[in-house]
Chains A and B, each alone.
Chain A
C-alpha cells in the first residue's frame, strides 16, 4: 500500500489547517453560507436534508487495518456509530457537527487519509478495480497509476473550478469491475505488441439525466505521457465545457455535442502542445517509487488446494454456499479473495457499524495481509486470505452479520441514500432495496435466479447507477407521490450498456411485484446457463413488457 512521505503529510496537514480557518470564518459569520459552500464542498462537506454530511476519500478503494479502525473510531466519536460506503469507494458520515469536522480531519490525517476533493466541481477521488493486485491476469496493478493521478489532481490549480465534477476510474484487467466506461475518464491498462505497458483512455461516459457510454479517444498512451494526456483532456473540457446549464456541464455532453472525432482532434492538438514542454513527463524514478509500494506482499508458498478448506466446504453447507458467491480465486496458489457483503437481507446497502468496521480491521490484520478494499458495488473485500483460514474468517464474519452469501445476486443491490438523507432525491431508495431483498430472502431462490444486479436511484442524478442495473429502478416524483421507473438490460462492465425503460412508472406498492414479474419472466425464458442479462439481450424487451403491463 502507498505510504505518505513528508510532502504528502505536509499537503494534507496544510489542508486541515486551511479548512479549520475557513470553518472559523464561517462560524464567526465572516463567511456567508454562500461563500462557504464551495470551500466546504472542496473538503467533502455537504449540507444534507437533516445535517452536514462528510465524505471521506478512500483512494482507489484501498485501506489498511489501521485506517479502517480510524473509520470506525470516527463513526463512534463524530457520528451515530455507523458509516456508509459509497459507489465511488468512499465512506460517508451523515451526522458530523460542522465545528468538529476540522478535528475529525486532523484525526484522519494522522492515518494518511483525507476528504480532499470528494465533492465540488473538481477531479474527484480516483477509483479502481477492487481486486487490484490479487486477481490473476492483471496487466498492471491499477493502483499505481491511480495514486499518481491522485497526486497530480490534488489541488490542481487549473482544474479546481471545472464546469462540473469530474470522475476518473482505472482498471488493469480485461474484466472491468470499476465501471470505467461510465466515468468522465476511464482508463484501461493495456500492453502493446512491443510488450510495453500503457493506457487506453475513454472519455465522456456518465449517468445522470443524459447517460452515455464513454468514447475511446486513444488506444495507447505510454506511462510517462499519461499526465500530459489527462491534462489535455481536462483543458479542452475546461475551455469548451458548458457552464450555462449544470445538467449539460459534464464532459459527456461536450463529447456528445462535439462528436467523437472532433473531440479526439482537439485533445490530440492540446496534448501535442502540452507534451512539447516535457513539463508533465512523469519521471521513471517516481513511477518506480510508487510502484514499489504496490509490490506483491509476502505470500506463503502454499499448495493450490487446501485440505482444511475442502473439508470445511464438505461439512458445512452454509459455508459452501458462501464460498460459491463470496470467494473469488486469487492469483496466488492457496489464497482466496473474500467479499464481505454489506447487503444483509433487509439491511441498508453499504452501511457498516463501528463494531463491524473494527472487526473487519482485525480480520484484515490477522488474515488478509493488512488490507481491505471497498467496491463500487458497496461491499468490502479482504484481498489476500489463505484458503486454510477462510473458514475462521467466515465464522467471525457470521458472528457480526457480515457473511451474507449474496455477492452478485438479486439482494446485492446498489442504492443511493435517496429521500431518507438526500435533498436532491424524489423518492426513497433504501426502503425499496430493503423490501426487494426481503422479498427475495430465500437463498435457494436467489441461487436459482443467479447473477442479477439491481440498482436503485432516488432521482435522475443516478447515484444508484440505475442506468447500468440489469434491473434499474429510478425514483420519480409525480405531484408529490413517489413513482418508480424500471429499466432492463443495463450493465457497467466491459460490455457496458444502458438499460431500456420498460414503460409507464410503477407506484411504490407495485414495484416489488414488478421486479418479481420480471424475474419470473426471465426464469421462464432462460436457456441453460443463461444469466438474466444474457436472456434479456437475446429476447429483448417485449416479453417482459407483456407480462408487466398485462392488465
Chain B
C-alpha cells in the first residue's frame, strides 16, 4: 500500500518538472564582456619575518623559570605553542616547564607566516647537599664494652668480694647513665675457671651472674634491662692452666645487646 503511494508521488513530480520546462521563456544572448582595463600592478604584501626568538637562560633546573623573547616584522599576529597561545608579535613571556620543551613561535601577517623554534632544556635539580653528619650516637654494645668492666670472684664462690663491690658500684652508675641514653638490654654473663665439673660450673656461673645482677639492681639499675646468662666454663677468655688465667675466667662479664 505504502509503496504504491510513493510510486504515485514520484510520477507526479516528474510530470510537473516536464511541464515547467516546456513553459520557460526564450531570452536573448548576453553582450560580450568589456575589455579589461589596464591597471597598475600593486606589489604583494611583505612576508612576515621573525627577527629573533630566544630563551634566556637556555637551560634551567626544574622549578626555575626562563624568559622567552621574540621580535618579528610584518606580522599582525603571533602564537607560541605548548599552551602559551596568542601573543604580541614582539614580546616576552616567562615559562617554567617541568621538562625540556621546544617552543615554536608562529607569526602571521598579510604576506604569509613564519615560524621558528627554540628549546629550553630542563635538568633534574641537584640533590641537596648531605646534612652535616650528626654527632655519632654510640650503640649500647660499644658503650657497655667501653665503660663496664668485669667483676671477679674467688674460686668456687659467688660472693661479691671487695674489689668486685667497687667495680660493680662504678658499673651501676655507668649503667644507669647508659640505659637512660640508649635502648637495649645488658646481658650479665657468668663464667668459671676450668677446674670444677662442667655441670657444677654451669650452676656456679649462673649464681655469679645472678649475684652481680642482684647487686646492680639494689643500686638502682633497672632490673628489666638486665639479663643473666651462665656460660659455665664453656667460654673461657684465657685457656692456660694457672691461677692468673683461672682468675681472669672467674668473672661476671657485661655485654650490651640492642
Chain B associates with chain A: no
